[in-house]
Structure 1
Amino acid sequence: MTGQPPTGHPSAAALRSPALLRYLAGQLPSVTCSWAQVVALAWVVVQQDPHALGLVIMLQFLPTLVIGPWFGALADRYDRRRMLIIAESGLALVAAGYAIAAATGALTLPVIYLLAAAWGVINALDTPARRALVPMLVPADLAAAASALTGTAMLFGMTAGSALGGILVSTVGASATFAINAASFAADVVVLATIRTGPSPRVARAAGQVRAGLSYLWRAPLLRSTMITIALLATFGFTVQVSVPILVRVTFAGGPDLVGAAFTAGTAGSLAGMVAAAVRRAPGPPPLAPAAATLAGALLLTAVAPAVPVLLVGLAGAGFAWSVCIIAATATLQTADPAMTGRVMAIFAAVLLGGTAAGGPVAALLADLADPRAPFVVGSLAGVVGARLALAGGRLRRPA
C-alpha cells in the first residue's frame, strides 16, 4: 500500500484505507457472532458436565500451539488473503456442524470434542494469516494503528457478541446461535474476496523456516521477554472461557443470561482498554508491566467477589488489563523483520492460544479440587510474576 504521508491521528489516517475499512466491515459481524457462539457452547457444555469445558477449550486452542508456527511459515510463503478466505470458510462449516448437531439432539460431548478439535485446526491457520494480513492493508507507518483499530473492532464484537449470546441462547436456543455464526463467516468470506492488497512477501520455501523464526525470536531479547510474559499470563492469568462459566453456574447459581453478562463485562473492559490504547498519543506501545499488575489486582477482586456486581467489576478490570497486555505485546512483536512477521505472529498465537489450551484444563481442575474461585487466585499470582518479568524485559533494547 502506498500513498501520501498521513496527517492527523494515526488511527484516523489508517481508517482512510478502503482495504482496512472493508476488512473491518467483514470482521465485526463475524467476531460478534463468534462470541455469541462462545456463550452458547459454554452453556451447552456446562449443562452436560462443567469440568468438560476445560477439555473443550484445550481442543480448540491446542492445535495453534502444535501446528500454528508451521501455518505461520505458510503465511509468509503464500497469499495471506486467500489463506484467510480458506480458513473463514472452514470455520463456517464447523459452526454449521454445531448448529445441525444441536438441532437434531446429537450435540453430545464426543461430538463437541470432535468439532472443537476441527475448529482448533482451522483457527491455527486463520490466526497468523489474519494478523499478517492487517499490516498489508495500510501504509507501513500506519501498521501499528491498523492493528489497534482491528483489535478495537474485535473487542467491540466480543462485547456485543457476549451479550447477544446470552440473549439468543435464552430465547431462540443454541442451535440458532450456531447457525447465525455460520452465516456471519460466509458473509465475511464474500467481503474478503473484494479486498485488494499489495502482494504478500512470498518467502521462498526452504528447510528450517519455522526453526529460523524461533531462533530469530530467541535472539531478540525484548521480543523474547515479551513472549515469555504473555505465555505465563495466558496459561495461568486469563482463563475466563473456562473459569467464568463454572464460577457463574456453581458459585452464583446463574444461567446463560448471567454467563453472557459476565463475558460481556470482561469484553467491555477489554474494549475500553483497546480504545484507550488506540487514542494514546505517547510514542511506542503501552507498557506491559503495569498492565500485568492491574490484571493481578482485578483477578484478585474477582476471586473474592461476594456478589454479582463486584464480580462484574472485577471481570471488567481484568478484561481492560488483558487487552492492554495484548496490545503492548502485539505492537512490540510487530517490530520484527517483515520477512519474519508471519512466523513471529504465528509463534505469538501459539503461545497465546496454546497457553489458553493448557490453562483451561488447569483452571477446571483447580475449580474441581479446590473451589471455583481458585483459578482467579492463581491468575492473580501469575499477574504479579508477569509484571516483574515485563518490568525486567522493558529495560532491554528493541531489536534492530
Structure 2
Amino acid sequence: MTGHPTLAALRVPGLRRYLAGQLPSVTCSWAQVVALSWVVVERDPDALGWLVACQFAPSLLLGPWFGAVADRHDRKRLLMLAEAGLGVVAGCYAVASAAGILDLPLIFVLAVTWGVINAVDTPARRSLVPMLVPSSAAAGASALSGTVLLVGMAAGSAVGATLTATVGVTITFAANAFSFFADVVLLATIRVGPSPRVRRAAGQIRDGLRHVGRTPELRAPLFALAVTATLGFTVQVSVPIFVRVSLHGGPGLVGVGLTAVTAGGLVGALAAAARGEPGPQALPRAALVMATGLAVTASAPTTAVALTGLVVVGAAWSAFIAFVLAILQRGDPAMTGRVMSLFAVILLGGSAAGAPLTAAMISLAGPRAALAVSALATLAAIAGRRALLSRPNVGGASTSSSCHERRPGPSDATPRSG
C-alpha cells in the first residue's frame, strides 16, 4: 500500500470501522463526564476531586499489569469486553439516576469500576490500532485515532452540556451506554490478524519495564513525556488561575481559554495526521513550539496574545503526544501492550502529580511564573531525551531492529519522511 501514511490508513476498511465506532463513543463518554460532574457538584463540590481520583487511580495502580494482560490475549476480543463493561457502568449510572438512588457513595463505586475497566481498555486499544493497518501506515492510523479522540472530546463537552440542560443526566448516561454497545457491534465486524500473544509467565511486567529501560528509542520519548506531562502541560490548573488573576477575566473567559487549548489540540492532531511517520526531529520540534507557546502566554500583554499562545500550546502538545505514540508503536509487537500501558501510566500520573505542583508554584510565584517554568521544563524534557538517546544500550544490545527512531548521525542525511 503506497501513498501518504494517513491516506493509506484510511483506505483500510477495518480502521474506518474502528474510527466510526470510536467517534460517537468518545463523544458520549465526554458528555457523561459533563453530566457526572454536574451531579457531583450539585451534591458536594469538594467531592469532584475525589471523583477524578477514583477514575484515574486504577490506571496508575493496575496499568502495567493490564498491559501484560493485553499482550497475553486477543486484543480485539479484550477491547470488545472492555467496551461492553464500560457500557454496563454507564447503564448503571442511568438506572440509578432514573431510580433516584445515584448518591455519592454509589458514584464513587461506579467511578472506581469505570477506572478499572478503562485500565484494560487503554492498552488493548492502543495495541490494536497498529494491527489494523500495514506497518507503513501505522503512524497515520495513530494520528487519525488521536484526531477522533480530540474531536470527540470537544464535541462531547458541548453535547453533554446541551443534553444535561435539556433532557437531563439520565438520558445522557443512557446515550453513553448505547454508544459503547454500538461500538462493540462495529468491532465485531472488523477482520484483524491474530494478536502476537505472549504466554503467561512470572515477571512479565518486569520484562516490559526492562525492555523499555534497555531500549533508548523507547525510554527517551517516555522520559520526555513524563517531564512534559508533569511540569509542561499544566493548563488544567494554570489557565483558569491565569485568566482570573493575570487577565482579570471571569468564568466565560476561562472557558474561552480552555477552548483555545482544545481547538489548538485538534489542529495539532490534524497536522500530525498530515505529516504521518515522524522523523528523528519531529518530537523536539513539537516541544520547542510548545515551549514557545507557553512563553508567549506567560508574557502576554493582552488577552488576544494569551489566547494565541494557548492555541499554539494545545496544537504542539497534541502533536507531541501523537509523535510519542507513533514512536512507541514501532517496537516489538509482543511488548506493545506493556509499553502502551506504561505510556498511559506516565501520562495520567504526570497530569495527576503536576496539578498540585503547579498550584503550589502559582501560590508562591504567580501564574505567569508557573507558565514560564512549564516552558523551561518542556525544553529540559527534550534535552533529557537527547541525553538518553546518546547513552549506550544496557548490555550493549542493539535495538535497531525493534524500533525505528534512530539517533541523528552522519549517515542520517534525510530524516524518515511522513
TM-score normalized with structure 2 length: 0.81
Structure 1 distance, partners of 2:96, 2:382, is 44
Structure 2 distance, partners of 1:241, 1:108, is 27
Matched, 1:284 2:279: yes
Other structure's SS at 1:275 match: helix
Q: Which residue of structure 1 lines up, in the alignment, with residue 51 of structure 2?
A: 56
Structure 1 distance, partners of 2:102, 2:304, is 33
Deviation at 1:37, TM superposition (A): 2.8
The 5 A counterparts of 1:155-194 are 155-194=150-189
The 1:126/1:240 distance shift into structure 2, 3 A limit, reads farther
Q: Which residue of structure 2 lines up, in the alignment, with residue 254 of structure 1?
A: 251
Structure 1 distance, partners of 2:92, 2:306, is 34
CA contact (8 A) 2:143 2:276 kept: no
The 1:231/1:127 distance shift into structure 2, 3 A limit, reads same
CA contact (8 A) 1:100 1:175 kept: yes
CA contact (8 A) 2:79 2:125 kept: yes
Matched, 1:12 2:10: no
Matched, 1:389 2:384: yes
Which structure 1 residue ranges, 5 or more long, are not aligned? 1-5
Out of 270, 285, 301, the residue aligned to residue 265 of structure 2 is 270
Matched, 1:298 2:301: no
Out of 226, 234, 245, the residue aligned to residue 231 of structure 1 is 226
The 1:280/1:361 distance shift into structure 2, 3 A limit, reads same
Structure 2 distance, partners of 1:353, 1:237, is 14
Larger radius of gyration: 2
Structure 1 distance, partners of 2:310, 2:173, is 25
Q: Which moved more, 1:99-108 or 1:133-142?
A: 99-108
Which structure 2 residue ranges, 5 or more long, are not aligned? 393-397, 401-418
Structure number with greater CO (CA < 8 Å, separation at least 6) is: 1
Structure 2 distance, partners of 1:350, 1:115, is 21
Q: Which residue of structure 2 lines up, in the alignment, with residue 65 of structure 1?
A: 60
Matched, 1:399 2:390: no
Deviation at 1:206, TM superposition (A): 1.0
The 5 A counterparts of 1:1-400 are 6-45=1-40, 52-101=47-96, 109-241=104-236, 252-254=249-251, 262-280=257-275, 284=279, 287-302=282-297, 312-363=307-358, 376=371, 379-393=374-388, 399-400=399-400
Q: 1:81-113, CA deviations, whole angstroms, 9 ceiling, x for partnerless residues?
A: 111111111222233344445556655554443
TM-score normalized with structure 1 length: 0.84
CA contact (8 A) 1:291 1:387 kept: no
Structure 2 distance, partners of 1:379, 1:119, is 31
Q: Which moved more, 1:9-18 or 1:361-370?
A: 361-370
CA contact (8 A) 1:286 1:324 kept: no
CA contact (8 A) 2:277 2:326 kept: no
The 1:82/1:395 distance shift into structure 2, 3 A limit, reads same
Q: 1:97-148, CA deviations, whole angstroms, 9 ceiling, x for partnerless residues?
A: 4444555665555444333322221111000000111111112222222112
Q: Which moved more, 1:232-241 or 1:349-358?
A: 232-241
CA contact (8 A) 1:299 1:377 kept: yes
Structure 1 distance, partners of 2:101, 2:357, is 28
Q: Which moved more, 1:171-180 or 1:132-141?
A: 171-180
The 1:152/1:383 distance shift into structure 2, 3 A limit, reads same
CA contact (8 A) 1:58 1:358 kept: no
Structure 2 distance, partners of 1:212, 1:248, is 45
CA contact (8 A) 1:88 1:189 kept: yes
Q: 1:188-241, CA deviations, whole angstroms, 9 ceiling, x for partnerless residues?
A: 111112112111112111111111110010001231121111112222333445
Q: Which moved more, 1:349-358 or 1:209-218?
A: 349-358
Amino acid at match of 2:88: L
Q: Which moved more, 1:341-350 or 1:298-307?
A: 298-307
Structure 2 distance, partners of 1:109, 1:311, is 38
CA contact (8 A) 1:298 1:318 kept: yes
Q: Which residue of structure 2 lines up, in the alignment, with residue 3 of structure 1?
A: none
CA contact (8 A) 2:129 2:142 kept: yes
Structure 2 distance, partners of 1:64, 1:261, is 30
CA contact (8 A) 1:39 1:260 kept: no
Deviation at 1:267, TM superposition (A): 2.5
Amino acid at match of 1:254: P
Provide the identity percentage. Answer: 59
CA contact (8 A) 1:40 1:166 kept: yes
Q: Which moved more, 1:356-365 or 1:289-298?
A: 356-365
Deviation at 1:173, TM superposition (A): 4.2
CA contact (8 A) 1:288 1:329 kept: yes
Deviation at 1:28, TM superposition (A): 1.0
